[in-house]
């Protein structure tokens, strides 16, 4: 007999071995029906996994993020099975679950079109109706290659995994079998609603030298109503697409001459400068010093930092005076040089240095996406140099700063702790020490967090902050990374109270992440209707007719002199047309001036959100919006 401790802390005794699905059935028929996967001693497991000793077990449903992934992973297998039925000549490659659904990469002679997706979707629904059970089994490397001999992509994966000594597991559902680690649903019947959303190109294994595959994306749910809700959200997301709004509101553009290199237009610069001004004031109050480091530094520096060995495929390089240089993909090595620019004492620590640093990273053209994925962007980096006993307080200070920023914009967020990746620098002892420091700080802050195994930076573990926008989508923006490696590599020192030399410890951190990406997120979150303090144009003055132009110009000048971002509509158009245009431009306030306003020296105020707000003196209007701007009201 073994003891199984459940999510709520209740322990139950079972005959070993027992599987998570058997435990779920014992607890309730409803839970067994909803079960998608399980956590056994903190590790994600298939529902068929045999538990042979005492364990902590959580049954995961579609309500859990990892349960969703198992549900969507099974849906990807259904997609592949449908393609196999309809297009037997197609070669199936990989089909994982992603953050919002699933995809499968398929080698076909002719890329799928909308009509093909409709056929595949219909076939998927037939497969789901049959409710095929998924059966897991394992094979040796030779057996696996024999099973998949007609698919070179699967054979390549089998050879790779077998070469690492990994188990080769397969899942079979009816007439379809796929190489897969799982986890999966027990059968296909819980997939009540399916929608294939798009088809794009993707290189095999992300390598442009390999064959271009057809990537089919989809989404699925256990209830039809959930799919309807999701499709409504997608429609709303289309309206809010920052690429569309960026052009309509004249914020930014990306030209054929520079794919991945965004150009900010005057209104976009007004928004960006306001955001950066807020960043600077926030950091001044938090005790940061601002620096600026070069865009290009020599190759030797990048070897010293470790980026050359771990990141060179993403770096742009050049030659100057016969010497190799690299365009910086990250700001941290420049921060090391600033620290080393003069002797440091323990009295200088903690030393907090912030930088709005432009970086360049080589991204594949297929991965580029508006401001969300670019090749040139500005990171709001900061590097904090400190002693061992300062770590916890500095981490807590950064976490508080991130909370202040996200809360001010109205974002909810969740936290992940990412641990040591396979490709890393430094000893296991240093990584354990650094990870423990981050974990202890989170516990002291009372923050709930999840462990993201193996996703740390190559030089240290990190805390990632995932914010949630108004449509419920999540974006990883803020991060806190603890680093023992770079101070060692750059031989950083400070003189301690004992007069001896010591090695500082370092935090890398960002709040916005990338200024460009954060602007993209804000644009979609607010649907382009930015709050007053951020709006590129805060007020538009609209004369009723040509004869009111002089008075309108006077109003404009007073607003301009008061420091507002204001425009005057001088076009010879009807007043209704001008108001509608200003509304489409999402200007927070319109000031209408005609005969009555000019005679009384007033303005008629119209709000973007509330419509007509009546007549006001210009002074009263200025006082009211100054309060709105200063409070950064949303």
Neighbours of 108 (CB within 10 A): 15
Does 539-631 match 66-231 at the fold level? no
Contact assessment for residue 151 and residue 105, using Cβ atoms and an 8 Å cutoff = no
Query: Which residues, in sequence order, are CB contacts of 127 under 8 Å at separation 6+?
Result: 78, 81, 82, 85, 173, 174, 188
**Matching CATH number, 66-231, of 3.40.50.920, 3.30.980.10, 3.40.50.720, 3.40.640.10:** 3.30.980.10
Span 152-162, mean pLDDT? 94
Count CB neighbours of 24 within 10 A.
23
Q: What is the rounded distance in angstroms from the CA atom of residue 362 to the CA atom of residue 375? A: 6
Residue 99 has a pLDDT of 83
pTM confidence score: 0.81
How is 366-394 classified by DSSP, letter by letter? GG-BTTTB-SEEEEEEEEEEE-GGGHHHH
Buried b (16+ CB within 10 A) or exposed e, 455-479: ebbbbbbbbbbbbebeeeebbebbb
User: Average pLDDT, whole number, for the chain?
Assistant: 93
% the chain with pLDDT above 70: 100
- pLDDT 10s digits, 35-58: 999 999 989 999 999 999 999 999
Residue 369 DSSP one-character state: B
> Residue 49: how many CB atoms within 10 A of its CB?
21
- The gap from C-alpha 265 to its chain's centroid, in whole angstroms, comes to 25
Q: How confident is the model at residue 73 (pLDDT cuts 50, 70, 90)?
A: very high
Cis peptide before 577 (omega within 30 of 0): no
Confidence of residue 485 (pLDDT cuts 50, 70, 90): confident
pLDDT value, residue 424: 83
User: 373 - beta bridge partners?
Assistant: 369
- Say yes or no to pLDDT of 633 above 90: no
Residues sharing a CB contact under 8 Å with residue 172, sequence separation 6 or more, in sequence order: 134, 135, 137
The token pair that represents 371 in the structure block = 């401001």
pLDDT-derived band of residue 31, with 50, 70 and 90 as boundaries? very high
SS3 243: helix
Q: Is 303 annotated as a binding residue?
A: no
pLDDT at residue 244, rounded to an integer? 95
Alpha carbons 624 and 555: distance in angstroms, whole number:
16
Q: How far apart, in whole angstroms, are the C-alpha atoms of residue 280 and residue 272? A: 12
**pLDDT tens digit string along 415-457?**
999 998 887 877 888 888 888 888 888 888 888 888 888 888 7
- Enumerate the domain spans of the chain: 2-61, 66-231, 248-293+328-526, 539-631
Per-residue model confidence (pLDDT) at position 600? 95
Assess contact for 321 and 312: CB atoms under 8 A: no
Q: What is the pLDDT of residue 97?
A: 94
The CATH class that applies to domain 248-293+328-526 reads alpha beta
What are the tens digits of pLDDT across the range 528-555? Answer: 999 999 999 999 999 999 999 999 999 9
Residue 85 marked as a ligand binder: no
- Rounded Cα gap, residues 417 and 431, in angstroms: 13
Q: How far apart are CA 355 and CA 515, in angstroms?
A: 12
pLDDT band at 34 (very low <50, low <70, confident <90, very high): very high
State how far the Cα of 199 lies from the Cα of 104, in Å rounded to an integer: 10
Q: Which of 31-45, 138-152, 411-425 has the lowest mean pLDDT?
A: 411-425
Instruction: Look at the block and give the residue holding tokens 């000048």.
Output: 557
Number of H helices, E strands in the chain: 20, 33
Q: Which residues are catalytic?
A: 332, 361, 379, 381, 383, 462, 508
Q: How confident is the model at residue 22 (pLDDT cuts 50, 70, 90)?
A: very high
SS3 label, residue 554: helix
Is there a contact between 514 and 379 (Cβ–Cβ < 8 Å)?
yes
Task: Report whether 24 contacts 32 (CB < 8 A).
Answer: yes
∠ CA 157-163-167, rounded to 5°:
75
Percent of the chain with pLDDT over 90: 82
Residues in a beta bridge with 324: 319
pLDDT value of position 425: 78
Confidence of residue 566 (pLDDT cuts 50, 70, 90): very high
Closest C-alpha among 230, 203, 212 to residue 72: 230
Which CATH superfamily, name and number, covers 2-61? Beta-grasp domain (3.10.20.30)
In sign, the C-alpha dihedral spanning 33, 34, 40, 46 is positive
**How far is Cα 34 from Cα 64, in angstroms, rounded to an integer?**
11
Question: Lowest-confidence range among 117-131, 259-273, 296-310, 597-611?
Answer: 296-310
Q: Which candidate, 309, 348, 272, 300, places its Cα nearest to that of 519?
A: 272
Query: Tell me, what's the pLDDT at 329?
Result: 94
Q: Of 497, 507, 511, 240, which Cα lies nearest the Cα of 383?
A: 507
pLDDT tens, position by position, 606-616: 999 999 999 99
The single-letter DSSP state of residue 132 is P
**What's the pLDDT score for residue 426?**
79
The CATH code of the domain at 539-631 is 3.40.50.800
Average pLDDT over residues 25-41: 94
Q: List pLDDT tens digits, range 329-387.
A: 999 999 999 999 999 999 999 999 999 999 999 988 878 899 999 999 999 999 999 99
- The answer to whether 332 is annotated as binding is yes
Burial status of residue 85 (CB atoms within 10 A of its CB: 0-12, 13-18, 19 or more):
middle
CA 606, chain centre distance (Å): 37
Whether 459 shows a pLDDT value over 80: the answer reads: no
d(C-alpha 540, C-alpha 267), whole Å:
14
d(CA 196, CA 512): 33
For residue 450, the model assigns a pLDDT of 86
Kindly report which listed range (224-233, 356-365, 456-465, 508-517) carries the lowest average pLDDT score.
456-465
């Amino acid at each position: 007999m073994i003891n199984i401790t459940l999510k709520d802390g209740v322990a139950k005794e079972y005959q070993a071995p027992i599987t998570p699905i058997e435990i779920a059935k014992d607890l309730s028929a409803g839970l067994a029906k909803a079960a998608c996967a399980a956590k056994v001693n903190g590790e994600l497991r298939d529902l068929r996994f045999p538990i042979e000793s005492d364990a902590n077990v959580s049954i995961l449903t579609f309500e859990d993020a990892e349960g969703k992934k198992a549900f969507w992973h099974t849906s990807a297998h259904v997609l592949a099975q449908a393609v196999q039925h309809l297009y037997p000549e197609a070669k199936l490659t990989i089909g994982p679950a992603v953050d919002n659904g699933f995809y499968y990469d398929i080698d076909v002679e002719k890329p799928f079109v909308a009509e093909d997706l409709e056929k595949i979707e219909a076939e998927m629904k037939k497969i789901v109706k049959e409710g095929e059970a998924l059966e897991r089994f394992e094979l040796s490397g030779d057996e696996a290659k024999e099973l998949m001999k007609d698919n070179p992509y699967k054979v390549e994966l089998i050879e790779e995994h077998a070469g690492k000594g990994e188990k080769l597991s397969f899942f079979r559902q009816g007439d379809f079998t796929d190489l897969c680690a799982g986890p999966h649903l027990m059968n296909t019947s819980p997939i009540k609603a399916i929608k294939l959303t798009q088809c794009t190109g993707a290189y095999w294994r992300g390598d442009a030298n390999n064959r271009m595959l057809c990537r089919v994306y989809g989404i699925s749910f256990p209830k039809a109503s959930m799919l309807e809700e999701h499709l409504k959200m997608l429609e709303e997301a289309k309206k809010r697409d920052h690429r569309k709004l960026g052009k309509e509101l004249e914020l930014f553009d990306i030209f054929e001459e520079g794919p991945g290199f965004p150009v900010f237009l005057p209104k976009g610069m007004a928004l960006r400068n306001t955001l950066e001004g807020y960043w600077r004031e926030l950091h001044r109050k938090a005790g940061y010093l601002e620096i600026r480091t070069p865009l290009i530094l020599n190759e030797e520096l990048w070897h010293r930092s470790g980026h050359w060995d771990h990141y060179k495929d993403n770096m742009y390089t050049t030659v100057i005076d016969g010497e190799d240089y690299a365009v910086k993909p990250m700001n941290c090595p420049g921060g090391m040089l600033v620290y080393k620019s003069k002797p440091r004492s323990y009295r200088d620590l903690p030393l907090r240095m912030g930088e709005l640093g432009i970086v360049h990273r080589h991204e594949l053209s297929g991965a580029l996406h508006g401001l969300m994925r670019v090749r040139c962007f500005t990171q709001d980096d900061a590097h904090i140099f400190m002693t061992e006993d300062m770590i916890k307080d500095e981490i807590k200070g950064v976490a508080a700063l991130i909370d202040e920023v996200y809360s001010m914009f109205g974002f909810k967020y969740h936290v992940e702790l990412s641990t040591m990746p396979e490709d890393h620098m430094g000893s296991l002892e240093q990584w354990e020490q650094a990870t423990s420091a981050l974990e202890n700080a989170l516990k002291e802050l009372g923050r709930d967090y999840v462990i993201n195994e193996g996703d740390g930076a190559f030089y240290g573990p990190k805390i990632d902050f995932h914010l949630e926008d108004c449509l419920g989508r999540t974006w990883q923006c803020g991060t806190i990374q603890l680093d023992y490696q770079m101070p060692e590599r750059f031989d950083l020192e400070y003189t301690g109270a004992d007069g001896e030399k010591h090695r500082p410890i370092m935090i890398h951190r960002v709040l916005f992440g990338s200024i460009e990406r954060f602007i993209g997120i804000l644009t979609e979150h607010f649907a382009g209707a930015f709050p007053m303090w951020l709006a590129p144009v805060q007020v538009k003055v609209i004369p009723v007719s040509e004869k009111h132009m002089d008075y309108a110009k006077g109003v404009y000048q007073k607003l301009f002199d008061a420091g507002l971002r204001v425009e005057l509509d001088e076009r010879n158009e009807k007043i209704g047309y001008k108001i509608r245009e200003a509304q489409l431009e999402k200007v927070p306030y319109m000031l209408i001036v005609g005969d009555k306003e000019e005679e009384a020296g007033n303005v008629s105020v119209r709000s973007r959100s509330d419509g007509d707000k009546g007549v006001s003196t210009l002074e009263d209007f200025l006082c009211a919006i100054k309060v709105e701007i200063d409070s950064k009201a949303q």
